[in-house]
Amino acid sequence: MTLNAEWAARWLVAAGDVCDRDRAYLSELDRLIGDGDHGENLARGFGAVRGQLLSSPGGETPAELFRTAAHTLISTVGGASGPLYGTALMRAADALQGHSELDAQGVVDLLGAAVDGISSRGGAEAGDKTMLDSWLAAQAEARAVQAAGGSVEEVIEAAARGAAAGAESTEPMIAKRGRASYLGERSRGHRDPGAASSALLLEAAAAAVRS
């Protein structure tokens, strides 16, 4: 099995659904250590992406869809999350350019490109209590399963599991980036909202494979 533009479209539409469903949860996480608008921002941005796809798919390859979604997120999502997610998808599109389908290695490449984009755009490192912690864990899990000969389905499921674990791992961390870093020690004990939304989005990617 490989993943094509149909899967990419299902993922991005599901991302809009998930962000809409969990906007209150994500904003509450953000209220505790940030501005309190993470859920609303993502619901607006990924809702716009979903609307575009439902009215006009707009791409024949995953790269084309990711690039269009990236531009939409950057232009519609406030705060840091729009540029970060937009850059992640833009880098993923660049990495997958010319490929109409993704195999297990393609999923690993997608994740690696997204990690590079988030890191370069936000300047975060592992352990800074940001969305990068979720993506790094997703990348590590996916890479391990792919190296062991796992199928594309197994690799993307591993990415979703890793992202969830990565989001959970941010709870005991002290934030070193963004508004949460102003809290210092008081940021400990709270899950990073960007890591939480990343886990939800990668679970949506895995769900799009199951469907």
- pLDDT score at 93: 97
Spatial distance between the Cα atoms of 188 and 170, rounded to a whole number of angstroms? 8
pLDDT for 73 beyond 70: yes
Q: Whole-model pTM?
A: 0.95
DSSP SS3 for 3:
strand
Res 173 pLDDT > 90: yes
Cβ–Cβ under 8 Å, residues 72 and 48: yes
Nearest Cα to 181, choosing from 123, 121, 118, 115? 123
Closest CA to 63 of 137, 138, 145, 3: 3
Residue 102, SS3? strand
Spell out the domains of the chain, with CATH numbers in brackets: 5-210 (1.25.40.340)
Supply angle C-alpha 200, 14, 148, rounded to 5. Answer: 60
User: How does residue 57 score in pLDDT terms, banded at 50, 70 and 90?
Assistant: low
Share of the chain above pLDDT 70, in %: 99
Average pLDDT over the chain reads: 95
Mean pLDDT for 166-174 is 98
